[in-house]
């Protein structure tokens, strides 16, 4: 939808006013490589997508804050002094949670606003529409209230809104990528310290194709906790050999080879090997991208999937089938599962001339082999949160 069209919807919803409406935007995100490393002191490597959530916001002359979305029929009208006092269990909890966090930073609302959100990100598909709506809200209100629009701070307060107000536990990667992404760049991020750098990643004639397995996840939390404790176990053993080690991902592969025999449990050893090698793959990816070697990056994506499947064992039949079928398409440089696993999405790097064929053939084979209907989203790498030119 163009900004003009969205603005017409805004006027339909709220009517005309002499106040100026401003337009803000935040993208969705995908993690390109570096899985299950965040809690092991390793890197993640996400990128902002080239589609996301747009917000039109306009001050009101009274004290109501009004919420509407083109994606949901539910609307809310809340007095600004009542913001955050009652959770609704509806989508408005996401932007309200952000306003609650802004108030904690001494930036409370002092008047009413009309808000209309428009999301192009499928909800609950692993592209982080939640981080997108949070970050666009945070950026918009910091801009309107004259606060500092520091995008790292916005990521942090958006994460707190999701963790504390909405009540969904999630790491910082999503909000960070959505807030700090840049067109044709991936983000090398250390989640603990928030140390990061933007790495040029011009996809050129290639597209990121995200495939949603639509597999219902079960028992993910317990498996996730099991992986975490296996990593802690491996770290405790390796620390006896290398006392300076504070995280598993700090270990270099050569160092790991020297000491890995100390880990008696074969499963724990495989978990640790994934962490060490996956972190090295992220660093190697940054190196090959310096020469824009997408071909080699694609091979690293494939290796990452094998490691997640065989060593870390967080893949599943559906993810494996989708990746296998994706890798059959001649224009595919690489394909892997992305996210925590046990379902969710794959990400593939595919030549634009083959994208149509990819979606058709991978979709058909996936359906035939799993009985499930996959969904595909074709993306480029776009900018992080920003203010857009409004309608004059
Ligand atoms: P994901 O982040 O993977 O897309 P989540 O379940 O974390 O899935 O977040 C999706 C929820 O975020 C939606 O159900 C809705 O409550 C909220 N949301 C995201 N985008 C919008 C939007 N454009 N308008 C209203 N609510 C939205
Ligand atoms: Mg989410």
Residue 119, ligand 1, Cβ within 6 A: yes
The predicted pLDDT at position 220 comes to 81
Residue 97 annotated as binding site: no
- Residue 118 CA, closest ligand 1 atom number: 23
The predicted pLDDT at position 344 comes to 93
Residue 292, ligand 1, Cβ within 6 A: no
For residue 353, the CA-to-ligand 2 centroid distance in Å is 31
* CA gap 213, 208 in Å, rounded: 16
Ligand at minimal distance from the CA of 210 is: 1
The predicted pLDDT at position 390 comes to 86
CB atoms inside a 10 Å sphere around CB 147: 17
Nearest CA to ligand 1 atom 15: 91
The predicted pLDDT at position 239 comes to 98
The predicted pLDDT at position 216 comes to 85
The predicted pLDDT at position 280 comes to 98
pTM over 0.90? The answer is yes
The predicted pLDDT at position 211 comes to 98
* CA gap 313, 35 in Å, rounded: 12
The predicted pLDDT at position 38 comes to 94
Structurally, what CATH architecture does the domain formed by 3-201+382-387 represent? 2-Layer Sandwich (3.30)
* CA gap 296, 201 in Å, rounded: 13
Substitution candidate for ligand 1 out of 10, 94, 116 with most atoms within 8 A of CB: 94
pLDDT digit of tens for each residue in the chain (392 aa)? 999 999 999 999 999 999 999 999 999 999 999 999 999 999 999 999 999 999 999 999 999 999 999 999 999 999 999 999 999 999 999 999 999 999 999 999 999 999 999 999 999 888 999 999 999 999 999 999 998 999 999 999 999 999 999 999 888 999 999 999 999 999 999 998 999 999 999 999 999 999 999 998 777 889 999 999 999 999 999 999 999 999 999 999 999 999 999 999 999 999 999 999 999 999 999 999 999 999 999 999 999 999 999 999 999 999 999 999 999 999 999 999 999 999 999 999 999 999 999 999 999 999 999 999 999 999 999 999 999 998 76
The predicted pLDDT at position 368 comes to 98
**Partners of 54 in beta bridges:** 25, 118
Q: Report yes or no: 52 and 120 within 8 Å, Cβ to Cβ.
A: yes
The predicted pLDDT at position 84 comes to 96
* CA gap 218, 224 in Å, rounded: 11
């Amino acid at each position: 939808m163009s900004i003009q069209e969205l603005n017409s919807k805004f006027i339909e919803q709220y009517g005309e006013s002499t106040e100026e409406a401003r337009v803000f935007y935040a993208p969705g995100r995908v993690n390109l490589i570096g899985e299950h490393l965040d809690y092991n002191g390793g890197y993640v490597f996400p990128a902002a997508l080239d589609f996301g959530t747009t917000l039109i916001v306009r001050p009101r002359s009274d004290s109501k804050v009004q919420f509407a979305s083109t994606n949901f029929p539910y609307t809310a009208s809340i007095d600004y002094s009542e913001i955050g006092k009652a959770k609704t269990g509806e989508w408005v909890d996401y932007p309200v949670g952000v306003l609650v966090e802004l108030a904690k930073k001494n930036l409370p609302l002092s008047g009413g606003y009309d808000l209309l959100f428009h999301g192009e990100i499928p909800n609950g598909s692993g592209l982080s529409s939640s981080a997108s709506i949070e970050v666009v809200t945070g950026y918009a209100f910091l801009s309107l209230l004259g606060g500092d629009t520091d995008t790292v701070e916005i990521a942090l307060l958006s994460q707190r809104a999701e963790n504390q107000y909405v009540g969904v536990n999630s790491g910082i990667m999503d909000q960070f990528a959505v807030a700090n992404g840049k067109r044709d760049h991936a983000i090398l991020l250390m989640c603990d310290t928030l140390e990061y750098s933007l790495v040029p990643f011009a996809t050129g004639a290639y597209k990121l194709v995200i495939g949603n397995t639509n597999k219902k996840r079960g028992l993910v939390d317990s498996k996730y906790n099991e992986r975490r404790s296996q990593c802690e176990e491996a770290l405790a053993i390796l620390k006896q050999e290398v006392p300076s080690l504070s995280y598993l991902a700090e270990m270099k592969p050569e160092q790991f080879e020297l000491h890995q025999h100390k880990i008696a449990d074969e499963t724990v050893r495989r978990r640790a090997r994934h962490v060490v090698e996956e972190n090295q793959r992220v660093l190697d990816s940054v190196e090959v991208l310096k020469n824009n070697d997408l071909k080699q990056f694609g091979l690293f994506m494939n290796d990452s999937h094998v490691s997640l499947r065989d060593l870390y064992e967080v893949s599943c039949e559906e993810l494996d089938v989708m990746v296998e079928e994706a890798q059959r398409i001649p224009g595919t440089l690489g394909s892997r599962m992305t996210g925590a696993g046990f379902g969710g999405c794959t990400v593939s790097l595919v030549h634009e001339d083959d994208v149509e064929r990819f979606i058709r053939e991978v979709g058909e084979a996936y359906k035939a082999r799993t009985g499930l209907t996959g969904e595909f989203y074709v993306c480029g790498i776009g900018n992080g949160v920003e203010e857009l030119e409004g309608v004059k």
